[in-house]
Each structure stands twice: as structure tokens, then as C-alpha cells.
Structure 1
Amino acid sequence: MIHEFKLIRRVEFCETDMAGIMHFSNFFRFMESAEHAFYRSLGFSVTLAREGGFKGLPRVHASCDFRAPLRCEDEVEIHLLVREKKTKALTYDFIFRKAGNEVARGAITVVCVDFDPATRTMKSGPLPAIMADNIEVAPPEKFPAKK
């Protein structure tokens, strides 16, 4: 079972603001990119089809603390760690590093839902077996101390 994943991304010009710094909202996009790449590494997609509708993973919490700026062309490592796993939800921590130095730390909690297109309703449900069977909580020593 897997409890962590790392993705390297380069900051693009379009992701920066007028000061040349990566806009804060893009940290959330980078977290989501790392999450989706994590799922692909396990052999499935964020789009979880099921008969008569689909399962989704809406965010119920997202946060990010910023320590240093990222600029255009910076290469950043996004380190995903599974903080918590429940029957219907997962919480991920994300540590952003540039040249080995932490520049930000974020978190996302997702809840598994069944979406019924006929009624356009969502109801929380258990994580699919492919997630439940392949994802585990990271050991405490994997989480660096907060600065």
C-alpha cells in the first residue's frame, strides 16, 4: 500500500502575478495535480465511473500556508502524504520544496460521493476498493515538523 507521492512541476509564466510570483491560487492547482498524478500512479483516475452515474471526490477542506515565493521557471517538488484515511474520506498533506527548501505547506480533504445524474444529487459513500485497498496513512515520522 502507498502513503506518499512526489511530483516535480515547473512554474509557468501564466501562473505568476504582476510581481512575478506564483499566484496563491496556483498552489491549490499544484496540489490537485499531485493528487491526480498519485491516483494515476495507482492505476486509476480521479474520474471514477460507476453504473448509472459516477463517483466523485469533492473537496470539503483546502488550506495552504506560504513561507517563500515561487517564481516563473522555478522547479518545485510537491510531496503528497496521506494524513488520514476514513471509510468515506482522505486527507492529504502537501509539502512544496524548491531546491530542497520548504516554501509552502497545504492540505486537502476529499470525500467520496455517488452522483446520480437523474436526480442531480450527491450522497457520500465508501471509498472504492481500488482506493481503500491501495492507499494507507503515512507513518508519523514521514511528516516534517512545522516551522
Structure 2
Amino acid sequence: MFTYSLTIQLHHTDAYDIIFFANQFRFCHDVYQAWLASVGLPLAKNREKSTHVAVVVHAESDYQAPIELGDQLELRMVTGALGTTSFTLDFTILNQKGIQVGCARIVHVTVDAKTAQKIPLPSALREALEGNRT
């Protein structure tokens, strides 16, 4: 399990001082990008010379309680399903009181950077994902 902390800023919220719904996906993507860097697969570095791209093919999110301006969140990411060409990331979002306020699931498929055809998960990525199951 990978854990990431975040404090809700004004620009994350809507007119009601709760997060704009799409920002929950943004937070999850921030967690994923931080995790990639933590396992030695930083997105920016790999993008320049990578032969593959992990594209999002499915995303779902549940909003279980309001997330408000100033809330301090803990986002947890674990690897869910792991296929030949795809992987699922499951996210849990807790507020500063330890209450689960949201969750999300995002499915990626690895494709060839030039042809956009599905390819098997690169071994380094597969190993990192397997190590993030709990």
C-alpha cells in the first residue's frame, strides 16, 4: 500500500466549499504519479524515452462524505487486478478524523508508445505493482 497526504486548498473546491467532484480523480492521479517516482519509475523521465504508455481505460469514484476546504486527507493506493496488459489501482480516501470520505478505481492498459497497440506490462512496472498489493 502506498500512502499520500494532501490538504484541501481553495482551488480544489466549488462554490459550496466542498471539492469539485472531478478533483477526486486528480488526487488519485497525483498519488499514482508519486508512487511511480517512489518505485524508481518517474513519469516525466520515462515519458521521454519510454516504449510504452499506461493509458486509463476505466475510472469510477464514490463520494462517501463531504471533503471540505482545509481537510487533511490520507490517500491510500493498492494494486487490484493485474492482467497481462492491464492493471487496476484501488484508492481509499480518509479525512483527518479517519473517516473514509471517498474511494476510486482506475484501470490502465499498457500500449506501445508509437503504435498505440496493447502490449504486455513491462517487467519493472509489473514487479512494482505486485509489491503494492497490500
1:123 aligned partner: 117
2:34 aligned partner: 37
Q: Does 1:16 align with 2:10?
A: no
Which TM-score applies when normalising by structure 2?
A: 0.90
Divergent runs of 4+, >3 A:
47-51
State the identity %: 27
Paired residues in the alignment total 131
- Aligned-partner Cα distance in 1 for 2:8–2:47: 32
Q: Note the residue ranges of structure 2 that are not aligned, 5 or more in a row.
A: none
Q: Deviations over 1:47-104 (max 9, x none)?
A: 53486x6421110010001111111111111100111111211101100000211000
Whose helix proportion is higher, 1 or 2? 2
Q: Does 1:96 align with 2:90?
A: no
Whose strand proportion is higher, 1 or 2? 1
Which TM-score applies when normalising by structure 1?
A: 0.82
Alignment map for 1:64-75 (pairs within 5 Å): 64-75=61-72
1:108 aligned partner: 106
Select the structure of larger CA radius of gyration: 1
- Aligned-partner Cα distance in 2 for 1:46–1:114: 16
Q: Note the residue ranges of structure 1 that are not aligned, 5 or more in a row.
A: 140-147
Q: Does 1:80 align with 2:77?
A: yes
User: RMSD over aligned Cα, in angstroms?
Assistant: 1.7
